[in-house]
Amino acid sequence: DIQMTQSPSTLSASVGDRVTITCRASQTISTWLAWYQQKPGNAPKLLIYQASTLQSGVPSRFSGSGSGTDFTLAISSLQPDDFATYYCQHYKRYWTFGQGTKVEIK
Amino acid sequence: EVQLLESGGGLVQPGGSLRLSCVASGFTFSSYAMTWVRQAPGKGLEWVSAISDNGDNTYYADSVKGRFTISRDKSKNTLYLQMNSLRAEDTAIYYCANYDSLDVWGQGTAVTVSS
């Protein structure tokens, strides 16, 4: 089975900071990679799919990159609404999630 | 409006059973594979099960294989998850989602397994 490993587990940042979250797959997954944002009490919200395609309605400060085994989610200028937990997900064969990265206020 | 609405969660004793339902609206339910994902309290997301668009193929995480059964009723636009032999570690919020589109999720239903 494919395992997804995110880092860091927690990230402390300030409004306006550029932040990056990485996700590594245990084997190559091409670009079958999505990123979600989740806030407490809510379902996950799709941000990016196919590693780098921005979901409709998602602000352009979010971007994704990578292919094969190494992927990155970047937020160019952190906004107050962005403090949340982020998950990567492999979705080619079944779904597999990373363990999550909590972005908290510094 | 595209929507998924789960129901059927609750408190159940270890070893008990529960059936979750997920009613779909706003899209052609029979055209999409569907899935269940759960989230234990304070933990991350765990994929549980998936079913093909026509219901012919089903898939399970090892943690629930042999205990949970996923099914669907296209006449009712409804997805189900029959959960048997429940354990404390099955305690979680259970979400249904559109497996193919990735972006359609329900609000979740809470399952608590405790004596």
pLDDT tens digit sequence for B8-62: 999 999 999 999 999 999 999 999 999 999 999 999 999 999 999 999 999 999 9
Model pLDDT for residues A21-44, shown as the tens digit of each residue = 999 999 999 999 999 999 999 999
Q: Give the chain B residue whose CA is nearest to the CA of A34.
A: B102
Query: How many Cβ atoms from other residues are within 10 Å of residue A77's Cβ?
Result: 12
Burial A8-29 (b: 16+ CB within 10 A, else e): eeebebeeeeebebbbbbeeeb
Model pLDDT for residues A62-86, shown as the tens digit of each residue = 999 999 999 999 999 999 999 999 9
| Interchain CB contact of B95 with A (< 8 Å) | yes
Mean pLDDT for all residues in chain A: 97
B115 vs chain A: nearest CA distance in angstroms? 25
